[in-house]
Amino acid sequence: MSALIVQGRARLGGRVDVGGNKNAALPVLAACLLTGEWCEIDNLPRIRDVDVMLQLLRQLGADVVDEGGPRVRVRCGEVRTSVPDPVLVGRLRGSVLLMGPLLARTGRVVLAPPGGDFPTRRTISTHLQALAALGARTQPSVDGHVLEAPDGLRATSMYLEEASVTGTETALLAAAAAAGVTEIRHAACEPHVAELCRFLRALGAEVEGEGTFTLRVHGAPRLRGAAHRLDGDYIEAGTWAVVGAITHSQVEVAGARAIDLEPIVAVLRRMGVACDVSDGCLSVRPSRLVAVRSITTGLWPGFPSDLVSLVTALATQADGRTLVHDWMYELRLFALEQMSGMNADLFLCDSHRLIVTGPRTLRGKTLDSRDIRSGMALVAAALAAEGESRIEPLETIERGYAHLVDRLAALGAHVHVAH
Residues marked as catalytic: 117
Q: Is residue 384 within a helix (H) or strand (E), and if so which, with residue range? A: helix 372-384
d(CA 114, CA 124): 9
Residues paired with residue 254 on neighbouring β-strands, in sequence order: 17, 281
- Edge to edge, the sheet with strand 3-7 lists 366-368, 388-392, 3-7, 414-418
**DSSP 8-state symbol, 342:** G
CA angle (402 as vertex; 332, 22 as ends), nearest 5: 65
Q: How far is CA 308 from CA 126, 240, 245, 248, in A?
A: 24, 14, 15, 19
Closest CA to 21 of 219, 178, 228: 228
* Cβ within 8 Å of residue 363, ≥6 positions away: 342, 343, 385, 386, 387
Return the bridge partners of 148, or none: 108, 137
Distance CA 88, CA 250 (A): 40
Do the beta carbons of residue 382 and residue 389 sit within 8 Å? Answer: yes
Q: Which of 90, 80, 81, 76 is nearest to 30 (CA)?
A: 76
Decide: helix, strand or coil at residue 228: strand
